[in-house]
């Protein structure tokens, strides 16, 4: 019989592998640091306070987001919050109005997530990435940014996918969507410079074998996770 300590270590390893890292923009702090009080289960930002660490210059018209995924299947939601009186009180601007179905254990890079905001150059903000697994549990990470016209999206070499893919879910019932084998522009503009398949109508590309979910499964995950995902947008 396995000892309690071994079982605990096994469970901890499973939880760790399901976590993820926010590579770019650089996250506020390492939410995987075992010596800190941070936890990716804590909303809105894994317990890492706003302004406590890094701040990255990010393009006024939208920029890149790069993640490393620790779970084979996820939904990803990316939100933006603007600084108000020195703090971020909500993440009420969605950079992914259509959910992303992500697959793989590698690096996922979205080269251009467009925004259209009437804000001044130099406005401070924060990006929130929410990952929802098949069980409906949500994990959080945030990156503080400065919106500026002098910033640029990551180059094609910097924004490469490795063993990860994303699919924009356009029709949950029919499960039609846009297959993106590498980071894509959700407005239909710049891609990562690698092959991007944009499906239209009922002939849309589906995730590879084993990566998809039925409409019933999608509804279950959404019912469990969306309340947590959008709680900070209220």
CA 131 to chain centre: 6
Per-residue model confidence (pLDDT) at position 169:
58
Question: Which single residue is written with the structure tokens 């020195």?
Answer: 86
CATH number of the CATH domain containing 153: 2.60.40.10
Q: Over the Cα atoms of the chain, what is R_g?
A: 18
Residue 82: pLDDT above 70?
yes
Rounded Cα distance between 83 and 145, Å, is 10
What are residue 165's DSSP bridge partners? Answer: 103
Indicate the number of domains in the chain: 1
DSSP secondary structure code for residue 53 in this structure? S
Per-residue model confidence (pLDDT) at position 216:
38
Question: Residue 180: which domain range?
Answer: 15-233
Give the pLDDT band (50/70/90) at residue 72. confident
Give the pLDDT band (50/70/90) at residue 74. confident
Per-residue model confidence (pLDDT) at position 186:
40
User: Does residue 2 lie within any of the structural domains?
Assistant: no
User: Does residue 4 lie within any of the structural domains?
Assistant: no
Which of 126, 132, 155 minimizes the C-alpha distance to 29?
Answer: 126
Q: Which residue has the higher pLDDT, 205 or 144?
A: 144
CB atoms within 10 A of CB 66: 21
CA 88 to chain centre: 18
| pLDDT tens digit sequence for 160-212 | 988 766 667 554 444 333 334 444 444 333 333 333 333 222 223 333 333 33
User: Does residue 224 lie within any of the structural domains?
Assistant: yes
Residue 214: pLDDT above 60?
no
| pLDDT tens digit sequence for 104-134 | 788 999 999 999 999 999 999 999 999 998 7
User: Does residue 7 lie within any of the structural domains?
Assistant: no
User: Does residue 75 lie within any of the structural domains?
Assistant: yes
Residue 227: pLDDT above 90?
no
Give the pLDDT band (50/70/90) at residue 135. confident
User: Does residue 35 lie within any of the structural domains?
Assistant: yes
User: Does residue 107 lie within any of the structural domains?
Assistant: yes
Per-residue model confidence (pLDDT) at position 32:
75
Rounded Cα distance between 138 and 212, Å, is 19
Give the pLDDT band (50/70/90) at residue 5. very low
| pLDDT tens digit sequence for 41-52 | 999 999 999 999
Give the pLDDT band (50/70/90) at residue 70. confident
CB atoms within 10 A of CB 185: 18
User: Does residue 68 lie within any of the structural domains?
Assistant: yes
Per-residue model confidence (pLDDT) at position 16:
44
pTM, full prediction: 0.69
Name the least confident of 58-67, 98-107, 144-153, 169-178: 169-178
Residue pair 140/95 in contact (Cβ under 8 Å)? The answer is no
End-to-end CA distance of the chain: 48
């Amino acid at each position: 019989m396995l000892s309690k300590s071994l079982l605990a270590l096994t469970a901890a390893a499973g939880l760790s592998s399901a976590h993820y890292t926010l590579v770019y923009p650089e996250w506020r702090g390492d939410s995987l640091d075992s010596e800190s009080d941070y936890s990716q289960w804590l909303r809105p930002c894994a317990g890492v306070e706003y302004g406590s660490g890094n701040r990255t210059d990010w393009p006024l018209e939208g920029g890149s987001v790069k993640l490393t995924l620790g779970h084979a299947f996820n939904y990803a939601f990316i939100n933006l919050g603007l600084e108000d009186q020195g703090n971020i009180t909500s993440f009420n601007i969605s950079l992914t109005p259509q959910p992303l179905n992500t697959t793989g254990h590698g690096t996922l890079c979205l080269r251009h997530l467009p925004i259209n905001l009437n804000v001044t150059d130099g406005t401070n903000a924060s990006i929130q990435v929410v990952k929802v697994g098949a069980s409906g549990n949500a994990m959080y990470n945030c990156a503080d940014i400065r919106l500026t016209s002098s910033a640029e999206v990551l180059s094609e070499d910097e924004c490469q996918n490795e063993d990860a893919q994303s699919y924009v879910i356009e029709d949950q019932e029919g499960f039609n969507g846009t297959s993106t084998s590498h980071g894509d522009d959700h407005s239909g503009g710049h891609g990562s410079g690698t092959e991007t398949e944009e499906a239209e109508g009922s002939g849309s590309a589906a995730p590879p074998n084993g990566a998809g979910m039925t409409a019933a499964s999608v509804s279950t995950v959404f019912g469990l996770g969306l309340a947590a995902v959008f709680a900070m947008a209220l």
